[in-house]
Chains A and B, each alone.
Chain A
Amino acid sequence: MDSTIFLFLVQDGVINGAIYALAAIALVLVFAVTRVILVPQGEYIAFGAMTVAALEAGRTPPTIWLLVALGVLSALAALAQNRRTLGAGLVARIIAFDLVLPAALAGLTVVLAPLKLGPAVYVPLAVALIVPMGPMIYRVAFAPMAQASVLVLLIASFGVHFSLMGLGLVFFGPEGIGTQPLLGGDFSLGGIPVTGQSVVVVGTTVLLLVAFALFFERTLMGKALRACSSNRLGARLVGIPTTTAGSVAFALAAAMGAISGVLAGPIVTIYYDSGFLIGLKAFVAAILGGLVSFPLTVLASLGVGIAEAFFSFWTSNFKEVLVFTLILPVLLWRSLRTPVHAEED
C-alpha cells in the first residue's frame, strides 16, 4: 500500500465515520435521556435519503403518507393513553401536532415537489418531513413503557425497527437509490483528490456537533435534557417533564438521522433496509464510547469508519464480519475494567 492509497482510505473512512458519528451521537443522546437504545435510528437515515431522491426527481416523496399514517397512529395512542385526563387543551395539542402539522407538511410537499427548487429547498423539506416522526414514535411505542428496564426497551426498540423497516418497503419499494452530491466538483488536497461531497459531509458533521454542544451547554432545554439523563426522578421532581424531554430527544435523533441520510445518499446506494447496517455500525461506535461520552463516541465513529475503509480494501467480502467483530475486544477491555457488582432492572 502506498501513501496515496493510504490517504485515500483515510479520507474514505473519515467520511463514513462522520456519518456514523451523527447516528452514534443520536443514539447516545436518546439512550441518556430515555434509556432507549434506538435501533430505528437507521430507518431515519434511509427515509432521509429516499425522500431527497424523490424530491430531486420532482416526485412527491411517499414519506408524506408515512408521516400522515404515523400521525394518525400517534394521535390515537395519545388519546388512549390520556383518556382519563383528556382536556380541550390536550386534544387541541394532539390535533395540532399529530394531524394538522403532518397534513400541512404533506400539502407543502405536494406543492413544492414538482417545482424542483434545488437542494436549498428540498433538503430542509426532507428533514422537516422526518423530524416529527421521532416524537410520534416515542409516544406510540416508548412513552407508555417509560419505566420498563433497558432490556425491555431494547427489545421494543427492535420491534419498532422491524415495523418501520417493513413500512419503508411498503412506502419506498425495494429499489435502491443514489442522490446527487450537494456540492459538485473535485479538488486536490496534498496530492489526493477530494470530492465536494466529502467536504460537505465533514463540514456538516462538525457544524452539527458544535451546535449540539452549544445546545447542551447554553440552552434551558439542553440543560433539562442533561438533567434527565443524569437523574430522571430528580429531573421530574424539579419540574422537568420527562415525557417532553423524551420527545425532544427523539426529534433531535430523527433530525440527525435524516441529515445523515441526506449526506450518505450521494456516497452509497441506499435501500429501504440500508439504515440498519449504518445504525449498527454507529452502535459499535456508541458502545466503544460506553454509551455516555459524546467526544469518545465521535472518535470511535471515526475509528469504525477508517477501520471499515481499510477492511474493505484488504478483504472486501469480510469487511462487515471484521467491523462487527471489533466490538468483542472492546467489550473484553471494558469488562476487565468494570468491577463486578450486582445490578437489577
Chain B
Amino acid sequence: MAARANAVAALLALVVLALPFSGVIPAYWVTLFNYIGIASLVAIGLVLLTGVGGMTSFGQAAFVGLAAYTTAVLTVQFGVSPWLSLPVSLAVTALGALLVGAVTVRLSGHFLPLGTLAWGVALFYLFGNLSWLGAHDGMSGIPPLRIGGHALTDGRQFFVLVWLAVVLAVVVAQNLLGARAGRALRALRRSAHAAEAFGVDIAGAKLRIFIFAAMLAGLAGWLYAHFQRSVAPGPFGVNAGIEYLLMAVVGGAGRVYGAILGATGITFLRDQVQDLLPVLVGSAGNYEIVVFGAVLVLALQTAPNGLWPILFGPPAPAKIPARHGVSKLAPRARPERGSRLLEVDRVRKNFGGLVAVNDVGFEVRAGEIVGLIGPNGAGKSTTFNLICGALDIDQGAIRFRGESIAGAAPQRIAARGLGRTFQHADIVADMSVLENVALGAHLRGQAGMVRAMLRLDRDEEARLLGEAARQLERVGLSADAHKPAGSLALGQLRLVEVARALCLDPVLVLMDEPAAGLRHGEKKALASLLRELRADGVGVLLVEHDMDFVMSLADRLVVLDFGTRIAEGVPATVRRDPRVLEAYLGGVA
C-alpha cells in the first residue's frame, strides 16, 4: 500500500519534471512555475514552522535575500563557483536564524514574529544601503549554474533543478514529521504541556525548526539568484515575507503539500490580479495588495487550517516500520519494591494571598498506589503540578528517588522516570492515537531531526512505535491506533493518556482523574491495569474523585482540604475519620 503510494508519487514527480520538455507549455508558464517552485521551498519551511511548530516568521524573505546576496557576492566579486557558494549561503542563513532564534524562541508566541519582522526590515535597509552590494540597484551579472560545461540558462532546465529541490524538501519534511523529532514538533503547538512532561526540549526544538525553515529559504534564495542572475533588495522586503506566510496559511498551515498548493495559488493570483486589476480599476498601481490582504483575512476567518485539509482530509497516520530482528526498548532499572520514590515534604504554594497548598507532606513508595483525595478546591491539582514541575514551589522540598526536584524542569523530572496524565486530555488532535502515545517514549529514543530527515532512524522508530502499540494494547485501544486522536471519546482519551505515560517506562505514575468519563467496563480494565503496574513495582499517585474507584485500589489515602493535609492512612480508617467526613459532608455538630 505504502509502496504503491510511493511509486505513484515518484511517477507523478517524473511526469512533472519532464513536462516542460514536451513543448506543450509556453516559456512564460515555465518561468512562472520556476518562481512557484522557489516560493514553495520557502513555504514548506513556514509550514513546518507555523503550521506544525506554532511559530511564525515574517522574515523568511530576509533569509531568501541573505542567501541570494551571499551567493551573488561570492560568485560575482570573488569568482567562486555557485556550487561552492551553496553550502556557504546555507550556512550564512543558518547563522542568521540562530542569532534571531536564540533570542526569541524562549519568549512567548508573538515575540518571534515581531523579532523576525524587525530583523527583516533591518536586513532590507542594509541591502539597500551597502554600496558594495550595489545599494538599491542590487547586483547583476550573477553567473548561471553549470553542470559540467553546460550552463543552465534555459528556464526549462532550471525547472528540473528547482522542482527536484522541491521534491527533496517535501520528502525530507515528510520524513521528519513522521518520526520522533516530528512528533515532538507537532506537539509543540497543540500539546506543549504534554511535550514538556515527556521530555521534549521545547526551546531547542523550536530553535532547530526555525533554523531548518531558514535554510530552506536560503536554498530558495540561492536558486533565485542563479535563475534571475541578478539580485536587488525589493523582493526580500517585509511584503515578500508576508506573501510567503500567506502561501503557507492559505495552502494549509500544517501540511507540507499545502505549501505547494499555497505557493501555486498565490503566485497565480498575483499574476492574474496584476494583469486584471488595472483593467478593472482603470489605472496601474499596487492594487493586488488590497486583494491579498483581504484574501488573507478571509482565509483565516473561514479556513484557519488552510485549503489542503478541506480538499484532501487529515494526514495519513504513521505506520510502524516493519523491522525484523529489532529488539524491544530496554526497560529502565527499577528501584527496589517498597523503597521511597517520592517524598513531598512540607510543601507550600501561594497564589497571591491564597495559600493553595499549605505545608503538605506525604510519600509514595515503589509498588504502592496512593490516592490523593479531597473536595473541590482542596489543592490536589496544584500539589500534582508542583510534583511534575509544572509549577514552582514556594517552600518545602520534593524529592524523587532521593534527589530534590523542586524547581526542576518537567523534562528533567520525566527523565528520572516520572510519567503523568493530564486532567484535561492534552493530546494532538490531528495526530494518530499511536503517534500520540509514542510521544511518551520520546526520552527512550535519540534520533534527532537530521537522522529523521534522512530516514536513518528506522530501527529506533520501529522500537518506539512498537512500544506505543504494546501500551495501547494494554489499555485496550489497539483497534483505534491509527485513528486521529481527536476522533476519540473523552473516556478513550484518558486511556490514551495512560498509555502515553506508560510509554515513558515510568517508576512513578501520576494520574490526574484517570477514571473521569470512563464507562464501568473501562474503569474495571483501568483498575486491573493499575494493579498490574503495582505488581510490577511501579508507584502510582492517583488524584481521583470517584470514591469507589480510589477506595478499592489505593493502599493509602492522603486527604487534603483547603490546601492542608487533614488525614492519611489506609482507606478503611480514612473512611471513618471525622475530619474527612466533615470535609466531604459538612459539619455534623
Contact = CB atoms under 8 A, between A and B. Distances in A.
Partners in one complex: yes
A340 B203 contact: yes
Contacts of B292: 159, 162-163
Given A37-B110, A164-B293, A331-B104, A342 B196 contact: yes
A343 B108 contact: yes
A280 B293 contact: no
| Interface core residue of A144, A162, A287, A341 (most chain B CB under 10 Å) | A162
Contacts of A149: 54, 109
B6 interface: no
Interface stretch (B116-124, B220-228, B336-344): B116-124
Interface residues of B, number: 62
Most buried by A among B193, B242, B287, B296: B296
A335 B129 contact: no
B113 interface: yes
A141 B118 contact: no
A324 B121 contact: yes
The residue in B122, B125, B293 that gathers the most chain A C-beta atoms within 10 A of its C-beta is B293
A299 B177 CA distance: 45
Given A149-B109, A169-B285, A344-B191, A163 B297 contact: yes
B56 interface: yes
B297 A159 contact: yes
Nearest to B55: A151
Contact of A320 (B117, B122, B245): B122
Interface in A298-328: 317-318, 320-322, 324-325, 327-328
Interface SS of chain B: helix
A276 to B, nearest CB: 8
B106 A144 contact: no
A271 to B, nearest CB: 12
Contacts of B286: 166, 169
A191 to B, nearest CB: 34
A163 B289 CA distance: 6
Interface in B182-202: 189-193, 195-196, 202
Interface string A141-171: 1001100111110111011111111110110
A328 B119 contact: yes
Given A145-B300, A151-B113, A342 B193 contact: yes
A58 B287 CA distance: 28
A155 B249 contact: yes
B115 interface: yes
B514 to A, nearest CB: 21
B241 to A, nearest CB: 9
Contact of A155 (B56, B108, B203, B295): B56
A154 B56 contact: yes
Contacts of A324: 118-119, 121-122, 125
A175 interface: no
Interface string B295-309: 111001100100000
Contact of A151 (B54, B192, B290): B54
B110 A144 contact: no
Contact of A338 (B106, B117, B246, B409): B106
Q: Identify which of B107, B195, B242 gathers the most chain A CB atoms within 10 Å of its CB.
A: B107
Contacts of A340: 106, 202-203, 409
Closest 8 pairs between A and B when the two form their complex, measured CB to CB: A163-B293, A162-B293, A159-B296, A166-B290, A342-B192, A324-B122, A166-B289, A332-B103
